[in-house]
Amino acid sequence: MIILSIETSCDETAVSIIEATGEFPVATYEILGNALFSQASMHAEYGGVFPAVAKREHAKTLVPMLEAALIEADMLETSSSDISDTLTAKITHTLEREPDMHAALTEFLKEHSLPTFDLIAVTNGPGLAPALWVGVSFAKALSQITGAPMIGTNHMEGHILASIFDVEEDDQLSPIVFPAIALLISGGHTELVLMSDWNTYKKIGQTRDDAVGEAFDKVARLMGLSYPGGPIISKLAAEARSEQLPPFKDDLPRPMLHSKDLDFSFSGLKTAVRYAVADTNLSETNKKALSRDFEDCVRDVLITKTKAAVEQYGAQTLIIGGGVSANQYLMRAFKSSFIEDSPELVVYTPNSGLSTDNSIMIALAGHAHMTNASNPAAAKYIVADGNKSL
């Protein structure tokens, strides 16, 4: 089956076309087309994602991303679409809040027709509601045009499945021995999730304030670095380690390290960095050392809490996902720490390109729940839910 998937929950606009052969979770997934546009540079001046800008850019970029994915998949048909007046009216209604995207799609349909898809999967939460709505409305219009069933998928489930998708080996999902624990670390979320079976999730811990990616971004901003801060901080931290720089601030807090629950807190760490840099003209060396000091605190908190979760639930598998799992230093630290303490535990981290937001993961999450897909008429009731939980 051919799945068209769409992701617009934050600042990446992504569209993929994936061919799934076999049933979830033992299917093979071939990526036929994959188009992604990152708006990061547009949000840089705000030091984080600015929702109105994200919404506008998604609306501008979705049709070009659809076209790029179709071209890569060799599925772009060059005959114009034959669309009835009734269907035209439906599409106009579906996209009434997105006039520019409606105009772009109308132009596209004058020159191209859409192939048939077996499923259209779109992120409908969690994320920034205005950004999510653009993707959801677009998916509805495409479902009406092609007649394909549509499903709203959970972005966090997408991150979990992306982390076990072995795109470098066999294009399949790696096997999971349950119970499994997923640590999800992104710009909007930091949570520990218990997976007792496929498609069965329970949140067992979460941040009480900032998400860990958000802490990276905010700390970067405090140091005068650009957005997104995660990749920059981790690069500076690596330089500090290889140059063996002394600490800039050796008493940064490791919040909630010893709390009895599985929750996190990162705002105190960020505030400690704010005090450390106040009225200081940071040299390049200071920035490197402070990045390392900060990353070490994050490492200790994440590993300690995850270990507690693994022990408490007798987990056999650990899955780490979300944008912060692109951090290779942290992933190596996790692996070596668990190899020492729990050699039986299988630890999965995402293949390159699958840690930060993408639409491949949305196709996987859609496939996992395809029996719940709605036909085009029922799809109009699918809503975006910024707080959707697993």
Binding residues for ligand KG4, rule: CB under 6 A, are 10, 186-188, 213-214, 216-217, 228-231, 234, 322-324, 326-327, 356-357
Sequence-ordered list of residues with C-beta below 8 angstroms from that of 142, at least 6 positions apart, any chain: 4, 66, 114, 117, 120, 148, 150
- Cis omega before residue 247 (within 30°)? no
Q: Which does 321 bind (CB under 5 to 8 A by kind): Zn ion, ligand KG4, none?
A: none
Asked if residue 186 binds Zn ion (CB under 5 A), the reply is yes
The C-alpha atoms of residue 156 and residue 137 are separated, in whole angstroms, by: 20
Residue 317, strand partner residues: 180, 346
Q: Are 273 and 290 in contact (CB under 8 A)?
A: yes
- Residue 102 or 189: the one with the smaller Cβ distance to ligand KG4 is 189
In one letter, which amino acid is 366? G
- Residue 11 or 263: the one with the smaller Cβ distance to ligand KG4 is 11
Rg, Å, the chain Cα set: 22
Q: Phi first, then psi: what are they for 73, rounded to 5°?
A: -80, -5
Asked if residue 217 binds Zn ion (CB under 5 A), the reply is no
- Residue 157 or 214: the one with the smaller Cβ distance to ligand KG4 is 214
> What residues between 101 and 140 interact with Zn ion by CB under 5 A?
none
Asked if residue 163 binds Zn ion (CB under 5 A), the reply is no
User: Among 130-138, 178-186, 331-339, 345-353, which window interacts with Zn ion (CB under 5 A)?
Assistant: 178-186
The C-alpha atoms of residue 26 and residue 135 are separated, in whole angstroms, by: 28
Least separation, in Å, of the C-beta of 185 and ligand KG4?
8
Least separation, in Å, of the C-beta of 285 and Zn ion?
33
Q: Which does 135 bind (CB under 5 to 8 A by kind): ligand KG4, Zn ion, none?
A: none
> What residues between 313 and 372 interact with Zn ion by CB under 5 A?
357
Asked if residue 8 binds Zn ion (CB under 5 A), the reply is no
The two tokens of residue 166 are 């072995």
Least separation, in Å, of the C-beta of 49 and Zn ion?
11
Asked if residue 191 binds Zn ion (CB under 5 A), the reply is no
C-beta nearest to Zn ion: residue? 186
Q: Which does 217 bind (CB under 5 to 8 A by kind): Zn ion, ligand KG4, none?
A: ligand KG4
Alpha helices in the chain, H assignment, sequence order: 40-43, 51-72, 85-94, 99-111, 129-146, 155-164, 212-222, 229-242, 267-277, 284-313, 328-341, 360-368, 376-379
Q: Where on the chain is the footprint of Zn ion (CB under 5 A)?
A: 186, 357
